Amino acid sequence: MRKEECMTAARVLALVMAAMAMAASGCAMFNKGTMHYSRTTTVGKELVDLKDALDKGALTQDEYAKAKKDILEGGPVKLDASCSAKK
C-alpha cells in the first residue's frame, strides 16, 4: 500500500472506532424513560425471606418493619443503604 492509502485506511478505522465507542456509551445517556416496578415473587415469599434475614441478623428490627410495610403496600422495598451497616 502507498503511504496515502495507509493514512486514509487509518483515518477510516479511527472514525469507525470512535463511532462505535460513542454508540456504546450513548445508549444509557439518552435513556430517560420512566422506570416501572414489577414483582417477580409472591408477597408471601418476600415476607418469608425478609423474616429469614431478620433472624440471621442481616436486618435490624426497624429495617424489618419498614421493609415489611413496603412489601405489604405492594411497592418495591426501599432501605437506606447507610442503615444496613450494623453498629
61 and 80 inside one domain: yes
- Do 20 and 53 belong together in one domain? no
**Segment 58-86, tens digit of pLDDT:** 999 999 999 999 889 887 777 666 544 44
Residue corresponding to grid cell 456509551: 25
* DSSP-derived secondary structure for 1-61: --HHHHHHHHHHHHHHHHHHHHHHHHHHHT----------S-HHHHHHHHHHHHHTTSS-H
What's the domain count of the chain?
2
Residue given cell 421493609 in the structure block: 67
Domain that includes residue 51, residue range = 43-84
Give residue 87's pLDDT. 43
